[in-house]
C-alpha cells in the first residue's frame, strides 16, 4: 500500500505516539492526514464516529486513541478505562466496515497479555490466562479489537490488523504524575528532587518487576511499516527485544538526570506485572520492523526534551 496516495485518519494523532505517527506518514509523502480532536469528535459516541468518517472519508484508519495511564490511574478508573476504550474500538471498527474503509490498523497494548506469560511474550500466548489485575480492564478492552478484527475478516473480508506495542517512552510523553507511565514519572521525580535538593525519592514496589521499553519514534515506524506491508489476521508484537528491572532503571534515570540522592522503595505499593518482554520476530518477518534507538540514547533524548519544556514553562510564568 502506497500511503502517499491515501486519505488517512489517525485517531489520537494529536497525542504522544500519534505525533510521531503523523510525522512518519508525512515522511512517506502522505499529505491527506486527518486527526479528529476529542473536542470535535468524542469517539466514545457512535454518532460522532459516523460524523468523523463522513467528514474525512478516509481510505485508512490508524486507531491510536486511548484512555490510558500508569498503575495508579488504572486502579482508580477501571470502569472508565474499560468502557471508553471498548466503545471506541467497537464503534470505530463497525463504522469502518459500514463505510467500506480499505484498511483499519488497531493498536492494542502489552497489558492484554496474561499476568504470567512466559518471557519473551509470543503472540500465541495472548489467550493463555487473565491479564495483570491492575490493568486488566484496559488490556481486555483493547484486546477485544483483535476479536472484532478477526471476526470481521472472517465474515465480511474486512482488512483490519492488530498490533501490540510494548511500553513506550520518548520526547512529548505525558509527565503528569496522576496519569504518567513509569519512565516519565521517574524522570520528573528525579529532576524535581535534584532541583529541590531532596535527600531521597520514593519509588513504588520492590523494583523486582521488569519492563521492556520502545522509543516512540521507533514504534511509529513499526506502525507505518505494518500499515504499508501487513494484511494478516494474526496479532503482531512491536517491541525493542530487551528487558530491564525497575531496580536497574531507577538508578539509570537518576544518573542521567544527575540526581544523587537516596532511592527508597515503597513495598506497600504494587509492582504490576512481574515481567514484560516481547518476542519481536513476527514484526521483522512480516513487515521488516526492527527497533533502532538504543535505550540510553532514547532516555537522554527524553530527559533533554523534558528539561527544555520545563524551562520554557518556567520562563512563561
Q: What are the catalytic residues?
A: 138
Whether residue 216 contacts residue 280, with contact meaning beta carbons closer than 8 Å, is answered with no
Whether residue 282 contacts residue 269, with contact meaning beta carbons closer than 8 Å, is answered with no
Looking only at the bridges linking them, the beta strands covering 244-245 and 210-211 are: antiparallel
Tell the residue number behind the cell numbers 488504572, with chain if given.
Answer: 74
Residues 81, 74: Cα–Cα separation, whole Å? 7
Q: Is 315 exposed, middle or buried (0-12, 13-18, 19+ CB in 10 A)?
A: exposed
| SS3 label, residue 9 | strand
Looking only at the bridges linking them, the beta strands covering 60-63 and 32-34 are: unpaired
Element (H, E) at 238: strand 236-238
- How crowded is residue 27: how many other Cβ atoms within 10 Å of its Cβ? 11
Residues 223, 215: Cα–Cα separation, whole Å? 13
* Helices (H) then strands (E): counts for the chain: 10, 12
Least Cα distance to 74 among 135, 32, 119, 136 occurs for 135
**42 backbone dihedrals φ, ψ, rounded to 5°:** -80, 105
Maximal CA-CA distance, the chain: 62
| SS3 label, residue 167 | strand
Amino acid at each position: 500500500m502506497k500511503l502517499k496516495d491515501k486519505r488517512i485518519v489517525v485517531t489520537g494523532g494529536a497525542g504522544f505516539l500519534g505525533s510521531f505517527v503523523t510525522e512518519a506518514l508525512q515522511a512517506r509523502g502522505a499529505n491527506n492526514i486527518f486527526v479528529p480532536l476529542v473536542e470535535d469528535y468524542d469517539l466514545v459516541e457512535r454518532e460522532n464516529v459516523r460524523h468523523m468518517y463522513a467528514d474525512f472519508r478516509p481510505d485508512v484508519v490508524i486507531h491510536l486513541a486511548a484512555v490510558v495511564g500508569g498503575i495508579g490511574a488504572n486502579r482508580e478508573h477501571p470502569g472508565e478505562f474499560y468502557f471508553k476504550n471498548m466503545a471506541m474500538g467497537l464503534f470505530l471498527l463497525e463504522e469502518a466496515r459500514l463505510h467500506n474503509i480499505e484498511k483499519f490498523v488497531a493498536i492494542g497494548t502489552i497489558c492484554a497479555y496474561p499476568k504470567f506469560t512466559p518471557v519473551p511474550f509470543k503472540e500465541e500466548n495472548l489467550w493463555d490466562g487473565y491479564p495483570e489485575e491492575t490493568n486488566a480492564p484496559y488490556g481486555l478492552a483493547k484486546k477485544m479489537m483483535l476479536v472484532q478484527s478477526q471476526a470481521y475478516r472472517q465474515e465480511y473480508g474486512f482488512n483490519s490488523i492488530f498490533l501490540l506495542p510494548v511500553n513506550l517512552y520518548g520526547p512529548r510523553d505525558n509527565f503528569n504524575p496522576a496519569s504518567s507511565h513509569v519512565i516519565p514519572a521517574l524522570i520528573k521525580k528525579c529532576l524535581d528532587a535534584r532541583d529541590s535538593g531532596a535527600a531521597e525519592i520514593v519509588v513504588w514496589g520492590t523494583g523486582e518487576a521488569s519492563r521492556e521499553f520502545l522509543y516512540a519514534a521507533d514504534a511509529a515506524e513499526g506502525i507505518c511499516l505494518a500499515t504499508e506491508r501487513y494484511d494478516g489476521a494474526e496479532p503482531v508484537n512491536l517491541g525493542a527485544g530487551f528487558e530491564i528491572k525497575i531496580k536497574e532503571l531507577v538508578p539509570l534515570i537518576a544518573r542521567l538526570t544527575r540526581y544523587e540522592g537516596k532511592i527508597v522503595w515503597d513495598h506497600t505499593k504494587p509492582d504490576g506485572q512481574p515481567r514484560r518482554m516481547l518476542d519481536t520476530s513476527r514484526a521483522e518477518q512480516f513487515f521488516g520492523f526492527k527497533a533502532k534507538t538504543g535505550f540510553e540514547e532514547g532516555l537522554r533524548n527524553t530527559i533533554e526534551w523534558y528539561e527544555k519544556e520545563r524551562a520554557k514553562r518556567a520562563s512563561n510564568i
